[in-house]
């Protein structure tokens, strides 16, 4: 495989929608999601009302890449080999001795191999890898705190209520029925939560299509929410930008399931047809679906037996791993953590603090006093450290910078990582990106430059 990757070499360019083409105001959105989940637990399941009270300092706990161990209520941060780097019980940090008590002298998490090879979810654990469920990590930890405070045993049963809260707010009929708290709030004040795409991105999409590329939009969001988002960020004529739009794709199943397990369906007024399609024959807007049938359509649209596809997404579980593993697509991961930690751009040398503040907020974000003090969900956490690297001390007291499991997964299943689509919109189509490579430095593959923690690790 070439050491470089270029969009010019791709026949088809696909995009996820949420947190990929569409950037959210993360602070407002995460607060809304947390409140949506917490209100369900309080109002429908009888949980303590104190769950609704969150201080700015509380948000430091909110950190992408955590795994909740449902068997004992611990949240853990994993190294690339599956050892436990840091852990909490609820929101309380576990000491080294407590981690060893839970996970043995080698600090090995017993479910790591299953998660690392399949990225599937389990009744025994849950992996937080996107901003739509990330606030649930904080809520989950606070529920464990409350159970402990009341002297109640922590069992996986509380997770059933968490799942019910997620379903209540995100199920496919919630937008249409105005149920839950998430969709009604976004519909009522869309600009508060969604950032419009810069004109540079809209023009970039038009240029891609004019250059002969087939453009795809593949999102797990339902069609009605997709329409609201796309009209806000791209304009009323957004459908003209894409050859194929697939909503309610139910990733990662879109990539991993067989056609008879997940057929494509047509849509009429945002309602799916009852019968599944036996194949995909033309451009258009579809629901659900599977990779093999889409692949056959792409062969027809490109007149190539093996069209080269690249897919942009923000989730390892839903986008990077399944697209690269099952469909053998190139993948570009959107990592707002690159901005949250601090990166040096080609045009501007910003300090880590300025970059974190400016980039994670977005250009037009309106901040109240609470949001001013609140940690951005993409920024480095005081409690958990960096998303990419963790500082560990050996028995001799020497510091070691250890790659996290999330970071090593990015290197393994992504071609390139960027902080946003906007960061590459001005580049020529034939720009040569340095591809991730196991034989190269851990800083390779990030554009425009690697996160500061990885740069520091490489230098040390």
Q: What is the pLDDT of residues 246-299, one digit of tens each?
A: 999 999 999 999 999 999 999 999 999 989 999 999 999 999 999 999 999 999
Please tell me the predicted confidence (pLDDT) of residue 337. Answer: 96
Q: What is the pLDDT of residues 339-354, one digit of tens each?
A: 999 874 443 333 333 3
Of the pLDDT bands very low, low, confident and very high (cuts 50, 70, 90), residue 357 is very low
Please tell me the predicted confidence (pLDDT) of residue 360. Answer: 40
Of 9, 11, 18, 133, the catalytic one is: 18
Please tell me the predicted confidence (pLDDT) of residue 368. Answer: 65
Burial of 180 (0-12, 13-18, 19+ CB in 10 A): buried
Of 9, 11, 16, 178, the catalytic one is: 16
Reply yes or no on whether the pLDDT at 366 is more than 80: no
As a whole number of Å, the CA-based R_g of the chain is 22
Calculate ∠ Cα 146-150-156, nearest 5°.
Answer: 60
For the chain, the average pLDDT equals 92
Do the strands 264-265 and 244-247 form a parallel or antiparallel pair, or are they unpaired? Answer: unpaired
Please tell me the predicted confidence (pLDDT) of residue 101. Answer: 96
Please tell me the predicted confidence (pLDDT) of residue 343. Answer: 74
- Mean pLDDT over 416-435 rounds to 97
Domains and CATH numbers, the chain: 1-23+195-342+379-459 (3.40.50.1000), 26-188 (no CATH)
Q: Tell me how far apart the alpha carbons of residues 59 and 31 are, in angstroms, rounded to a whole number.
A: 9
Q: Tell me how far apart the alpha carbons of residues 193 and 36 are, in angstroms, rounded to a whole number.
A: 14
Of the pLDDT bands very low, low, confident and very high (cuts 50, 70, 90), residue 1 is confident
pLDDT: is 354 or 446 the higher one? 446
- Mean pLDDT over 87-111 rounds to 96
Angle between helices 26-45 and 135-149 (to 10 degrees): 40
Reply yes or no on whether the pLDDT at 359 is more than 90: no
Q: Tell me how far apart the alpha carbons of residues 130 and 441 are, in angstroms, rounded to a whole number.
A: 26
Please tell me the predicted confidence (pLDDT) of residue 440. Answer: 81
Please tell me the predicted confidence (pLDDT) of residue 157. Answer: 86
- Is 189 a catalytic site residue? no
pLDDT: is 371 or 364 the higher one? 371
Please tell me the predicted confidence (pLDDT) of residue 395. Answer: 74
Please tell me the predicted confidence (pLDDT) of residue 439. Answer: 79
Q: Tell me how far apart the alpha carbons of residues 383 and 396 are, in angstroms, rounded to a whole number.
A: 23
- Is 167 a catalytic site residue? no
- Mean pLDDT over 221-238 rounds to 97
Of the pLDDT bands very low, low, confident and very high (cuts 50, 70, 90), residue 441 is confident
Contacts of 389 (CB under 8 A, 6+ apart): 401, 402, 403, 404, 407, 453, 454, 456, 457
- Mean pLDDT over 173-182 rounds to 95
- Mean pLDDT over 144-150 rounds to 94
- Mean pLDDT over 25-41 rounds to 97
């Amino acid at each position: 495989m070439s050491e470089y990757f270029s969009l010019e070499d791709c026949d088809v360019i696909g995009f996820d929608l949420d947190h990929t083409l569409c950037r959210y105001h993360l602070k407002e959105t995460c607060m809304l999601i947390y409140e949506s989940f917490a209100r369900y637990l309080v109002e429908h399941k009888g949980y303590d009302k104190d769950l609704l009270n969150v201080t700015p300092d509380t948000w430091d706990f909110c950190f992408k890449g955590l795994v909740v161990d449902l068997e004992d209520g611990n949240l853990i941060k994993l190294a690339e080999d599956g050892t436990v780097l840091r852990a909490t019980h609820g929101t309380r940090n576990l000491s080294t001795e407590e981690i060893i008590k839970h996970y043995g002298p080698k600090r090995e998490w017993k479910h790591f191999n299953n998660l690392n090879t399949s990225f599937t979810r389990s009744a025994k654990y849950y992996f937080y890898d996107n901003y739509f469920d990330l606030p649930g990590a904080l809520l989950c930890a606070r529920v464990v705190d409350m159970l402990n405070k009341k002297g109640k045993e922590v069992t996986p049963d509380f997770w059933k209520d968490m799942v019910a809260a997620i379903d209540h707010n995100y199920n496919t009929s919630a937008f249409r029925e105005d149920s839950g708290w998430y969709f009604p709030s976004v519909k009522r004040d869309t600009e508060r939560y969604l950032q419009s795409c810069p004109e540079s991105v809209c023009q970039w999409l038009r240029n891609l299509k004019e250059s002969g590329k087939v453009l795809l939009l593949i999102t797990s969001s339902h069609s009605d929410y997709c329409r609201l988002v796309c009209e806000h960020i791209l304009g009323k004529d957004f459908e003209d930008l894409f050859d194929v739009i697939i909503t309610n794709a139910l990733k990662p199943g879109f990539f991993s399931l067989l056609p008879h397990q997940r057929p494509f369906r047509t849509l009429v007024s945002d309602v799916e047809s009852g019968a599944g399609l036996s194949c995909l024959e033309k451009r258009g807007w579809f629901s659900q679906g599977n990779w093999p049938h889409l692949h056959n359509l792409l062969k027809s649209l490109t007149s190539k037996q093996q069209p080269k596809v690249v897919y942009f997404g923000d989730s390892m579980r839903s986008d990077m791993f399944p697209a690269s593993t099952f469909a053998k697509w190139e993948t570009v991961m959107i990592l707002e953590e690159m901005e949250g930690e601090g990166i040096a751009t080609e045009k501007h040398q910003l300090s880590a603090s300025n970059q974190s503040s400016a980039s994670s907020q977005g250009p037009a974000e309106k901040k109240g006093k609470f949001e001013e003090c609140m940690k951005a969900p993409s920024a480095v956490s005081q409690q958990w450290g960096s998303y990419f690297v963790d500082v560990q001390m050996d028995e001799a007291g020497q510091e070691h910078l250890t790659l996290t499991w999330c970071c090593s997964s990015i290197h393994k299943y992504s071609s390139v990582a960027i902080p946003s689509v906007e960061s590459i919109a001005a580049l020529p189509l034939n720009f040569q990106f340095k591809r991730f490579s196991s034989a190269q430095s851990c800083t390779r593959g990030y554009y425009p430059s690697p996160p500061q923690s990885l740069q520091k690790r490489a230098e040390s």
